[in-house]
Every structure is written in C-alpha cells, then in structure tokens.
Amino acid sequence: MASNIHPTAVIDPKAELGENVDVGPYSLIAAEVRVHDGTKIQNNVTILGPTVIGRDNRIFAYASIGQDPQDKKFHGEPESFLEIGDGNTIREYVTINRGSEFGGGHTRIGNDNWIMAYCHVAHDCQVGNKTVFANGATLAGHVTIEDGVTLGGFTAVHQYCSIGELAMTGGLTMIAQDVPPFVIATGNRVRLYGINKIGMERYGLPKEDIDAIQKAYKTFYRSRLAKQEALERIENELAHSARAQQFAMFIRESKRGICR
C-alpha cells in the first residue's frame, strides 16, 4: 500500500495504489484509478477514472486529472481513458481530460514530461516524452505533441493539430496548422523562425543531423520551390539523413496543412 496517505484524503476502495505512493490532504482518488509505485500526490488533487498513472510522477496541488472530456458529444460513454507514463512533473492547477469514443477513447501522456501550472490537455491528445509545457499552454482535443517539444507560455493549439519532434514555440503563440519537427514557431497566427538548433544540441543530436535539418528547412521554406518540388529535393539530396527525411515525411503526411 501507499507509504503516506493523509487522513483527510478520500480514496475509493476500488482505486489501486502501488508502493511508496504519497497522497496529500484533501485529495480525491476515485474508483478505476491505478497509481504505480513512487508517485507523489500533493494536497487538493482530484483524480478520476478510468485513469492509469505510472511510476515516480509528481502531481502538485489543485491539479485535476482524468475528468470527463469537455466535448458536447460526450455523454458518459465507457470508452474514455487516460494514461500517464513515468517520471512526469504535473504542476499546480493543471487539467488533463480523459479521451472520448469519437477520438479513439484515450488521452495519453508519455514519460519525463514537465507540465507547468495552469496547463490544459484536452480529450484524445497524444503527448510524447520529454516535453516542456510552460505556464498556461493549452491543447484542444485530438492534438499530437511529439517527443522533446517545448511549448512557450500560453501557447494555444487548435484541435487536430500536430507539433513535430523537438519543435519549440514562443509565448502567446496560436497554432492552427501543423508545426514541422525541429523548428521554432511563434506568433498569432504562428510563423516559423528557423530551426531549433540549441534545443537539438541539448537533446544530443549530432552536428551532421542538425546541418541536414538546416538544409531541409531552407529547401522547403526559402528556395521558392513548390511544395512537391521542395520535398522531392529534400528526399533526393538528403537521402542519407534520417532526420531530414523525418522532416519531409511529417510535411507529406500533414492533414491540416503546415505553418509557413
């Protein structure tokens, strides 16, 4: 059982808590919630199910985890789940909603993410690993955030948008189309300002990958080639670079169109 459950915490008998789980004062853990070993839950946190939370997470005061989707089409359907991985930091007043049957039923958050105060992750979002959400960043429903993304404060992402790996946004950014991997994006509406070189270096990408991404970016955004021509040039001239091919593939597969 948990190592430290405050006497004022309310925990449903059907909830499952692993070893060394702390639950602070006045927190509520409902039925169909499973919390794995080592997770620390502060005071006044609400966690509803069906929700699975992995190991060694830190959930700060007044967070609301696993609430119903904020979707008018949702009427209590059973296919509504939230999965949170390991090692995440979820700060004060963060809200994370379960999925809906209209979006596959699952909201998922990976491992080692840093989600700062007042952020919101809506229903059916898919968040990867090692992301950073600065204060007030907001995801609408069905958003995909790939590994290593950094969202600046009060970034707002429109439903069904995707943000590619290691992209970075500035504060007060409004995103209504897909953001390719490895770029810096900012503004309302968003514009791109080159590649996220420092972020890639910190993430450990080798120089040859960064150089190839820089060339792919210039080919697509600055060569004045048509979209198809630019992608073909990247695929042909940078065939040796898996990261450049990743950049081109993201653009090819975009459903909402790409920020230009």
198-245 residue pLDDT tens:
999 999 999 999 999 999 999 999 999 999 999 999 999 999 999 999
The ranges assigned to domains in the chain are 4-142, 200-253
124 catalytic per annotation = yes
Q: Using CA atoms, how far apart are residues 29 and 16, in angstroms rounded to an integer?
A: 9
Confidence bin at 260 (pLDDT 50/70/90)? confident
The length of the chain is 260
- pLDDT above 90 for 23: yes
Q: Residues 124-135: what's their mean pLDDT?
A: 98
pTM higher than the cut 0.85: yes
Q: Is residue 69 within 8 Å of 100, Cβ to Cβ?
A: yes
How far the first Cα of the chain sits from its last, in Å, is 52
Question: Which is the catalytic residue, given 99, 103, 128, 141?
Answer: 141
Confidence bin at 3 (pLDDT 50/70/90)? confident
pLDDT value of residue 15: 98
- Of 231, 170, 243, the closest CA to residue 207 belongs to 243
- Of 68, 62, 24, the closest CA to residue 46 belongs to 62
Question: Between β-strands 51-53 and 33-35, what pairing exists: parallel, antiparallel or unpaired?
Answer: parallel
Q: Using CA atoms, how far apart are residues 67 and 140, in angstroms rounded to an integer?
A: 15
pLDDT value of residue 189: 86
Q: Residues 86-111: what's their mean pLDDT?
A: 97
pLDDT value of residue 156: 98
- pLDDT, the chain, mean: 97
Q: Would you state the CATH architecture of domain 4-142?
A: 3 Solenoid (2.160)
Q: Is residue 83 within 8 Å of 106, Cβ to Cβ?
A: yes
Assess if CATH 1.20.1180 describes domain 200-253: yes
Question: Which is the catalytic residue, given 22, 124, 147, 178?
Answer: 124
Q: Which two tokens stand for residue 146?
A: 């790939």
18 catalytic per annotation = no
Question: Which is the catalytic residue, given 71, 123, 148, 199?
Answer: 123
pLDDT value of residue 202: 96
Q: Residues 137-162: what's their mean pLDDT?
A: 98
Q: Residues 192-197: what's their mean pLDDT?
A: 97
